[in-house]
Amino acid sequence: MEKENKRLAVLVGCNYPKTRNELHGCINDVLTMRDTLVNRFGFDLNHIKVLTDDGSASILPTGANIKKALDAMVDQAKPGDVLYFHYSGHGTRIPSLKPGRPFRQDEAIVPCDFNLITDVDFRQLVNRLPKGASFTILSDSCHSGGLIDKEKEQIGPSHVTTEISGTLSVTDNIKPKAIPFESILQHLSSLTGIYTSDVATHLLELFAADASLKFRLPPLEVNLFESLKPDEGILLSGCQANETSADMMNPVMTGGKACGAFSNAVEMVLKKHEAQLSNREIVMLSREVLKEQGFEQHPCLYCNDENANATFLCQPAAQNTTL
């Protein structure tokens, strides 16, 4: 009997409790998505690993722990398997270390211990996928566009099928999911006692081999992780690389339950449309939801041409119903 393909997920919610960077809806985001994965997309609860920083999870979402969980998921992947990573938390932009790009900025997520996970780390994970497996990343964080280095833009600053504009109308209950690079440096400097603007120096001092590949490898070696051909990485980002994503602390539209604006938009789209939706449809419909709510963030899609129109998370046809 042919073995059924696995559906594996790592869900990370960072609220940074009792810090100046505290958010409110990130853990709610991943717990809601956990239920959606099980009830709609056929994931086994035992194949979903949840990392949160509120004390409810057995594993804290440190940089090392997140990468360990992602590595384990990719390591056990076989052709046909569906892998999913949902991150809700802070994001940031860091100066590029690549030769010839002194003014370019690269994207990173901010685990609870500030051990940054960068676009190069996600590129390396995607490059390790066995042929025929897919890896979908949904990042509800600031500056998340382009979080898989060198992934092809399908919907974003250069490729948008509709003009989206809006004004943030509920600012009293909104907090951006961004930590400025200067604040990252200040925090890391307070831990290392080293006063330099070179973030790599701090991260290597604090985390050594657990620091991002971007900081552990010479820039020329980092370039070896660039995508040379279409791959199975799929990124749904909460916003463009130069934008922020919103954390809604007391949103009227969710009955007062704190959540990330993008995560909530995706959930609203899935509830409204019970039929299969493509990755492109998920992003465009989420853009419409956020526009109606008055947000200025623009979700993006990065993947190869085929996956742009592929079904989001390969939703089993048996669970498909008519719109």
Catalytic residues: 90, 142
Tokens of residue 117, six digits: 């996970």
Bridge partner list, 302: 153, 235
245, burial (CB in 10 Å: exposed 0-12, middle 13-18, buried 19+): buried
CB 129 within 8 A of CB 232: yes
- Residue 265 CA to residue 167 CA, distance in Å, equals 16
Q: What are phi and psi of 184, to 5 degrees?
A: -60, -50
DSSP assignment of 32-82: HHHHHHHHTT---GGGEEEEESSSSSSS---HHHHHHHHHHHHHT--TT-E
CB 87 within 8 A of CB 109: yes
Bridge partner list, 26: none
Question: Which amino acid makes up residue 317?
Answer: A
Q: Mapping DSSP to helix (H, G, I), strand (E, B) and coil, where does residue 117 land? A: strand
